[in-house]
Copies of this chain bind each other. A is one copy, B any other.
Amino acid sequence: MATMHDVARLARVSVSTVSYVLTGARPISQATRDKVLAAMTELGYQPNAMARGLASRRSRIVGLLMPMDERGLGATETAFVTGAAAAASVAGYHLVLSPVGDLDDLRRLASQRMLDGAVLMEVQVEDERVGALQEAGVPLVLIGRTGDTTGLSYVDIDFDQTVREAVAHLVSLGHDRIVYVNHSAAAIAAGYGPAVRTRDAFVAAMTGHGLEPVMITAEDSAAGGRAALTAALAQAPDLTAVLVMNENAIFGILGELTNRGLAVPRDVSVVSMVTSPQVAELATPALTAMTSPGSALGRIAVEALLRHVTGTGDDNHQQLLPCALEVRGSTCPAPATLAVSVSDGSDPTGSGPPGT
């Protein structure tokens, strides 16, 4: 393995010159640079990452910290990762995905000066990792948001916009009995951001359309989805559409719908929010969904982090990204307004009270 000395000797320059052509930290004449570059390629030189890191106090590694629970990475999260990795690679940084479950592990990783910065995924409202990294002096950017974002950089999904557009889509199809299946009650109670924010946004959106917001909570599993649909039908027997933000429950919901002889979308329209096209396509029919801005989230987070790390630019980047409506096969116009309504010609806006 050739070292910088070897390159310097071969190019007949000093080591510092070699170093400077590598880092670009000071101007080098074209002639010298060419000599050095030639020597490098001739020797197949690659700088030693550890030595660089020690001398420069910069590892050129940024971490993507994701709590890996058993559920695995959905396509959405995977998109974060690929987007982030690409952005890091472009900047000459390595992105390492650290499946740190343990807070102590994280503390260790951070204090060992192994990371120039970190992107946190799956951020909780009260996330201990934030404090741990700040104490260790590791710059960070969140994908998601903590409760108090003062002085923190983050990139997150615009849940308000997402819910609003999803509801608008259903309303424009004539639906007026829309049930929202959220994450679990426990998640909401714990203040899990996406669950809380979508809940509020749903209430606002429905109210804005003069409709009554009905929300059901669901455990993150197929069984949870089945139970949620059962509860939804109990609470709103005349529902014509369900809005879901729970990739783990959605298949249970669809299964239970089928079990009850309700066809999608003929009898019930379904919209899945913050969903990747891949998952949407798994269902039959494919799901109309609000597609998450997957790789963009990851890319933007890393770019903001690197700006922070290198001291280039704002160290307080806060940004929301929209989800895009992609209409597939799980939504269609609401079944002809209730027989009674049709027969008496009332309620053409479809915004009447339930049970009419």
Contact = CB atoms under 8 A, between A and B. Distances in A.
Which of A74, A105, A283, A284 is packed against the most chain B CB atoms within 10 Å? A284
A85 B77 CA distance: 18
A53 B53 CA distance: 10
Interface residues of A, number: 59
A44 B112 CA distance: 11
A349 interface: no
A127 interface: no
Given A50-B114, A72-B73, A226-B284, A94 B82 contact: no
Interface string A308-346: 000000000000000000000000000000000000000
Contacts of A251: 251, 282-284
Contact of A48 (B47, B54, B108, B259): B54
A47 B114 CA distance: 10
A223 interface: yes
A83 B226 CA distance: 31
A98 B51 CA distance: 21
B89 A78 contact: no
Given A70-B79, A95-B99, A259-B284, A46 B252 contact: no
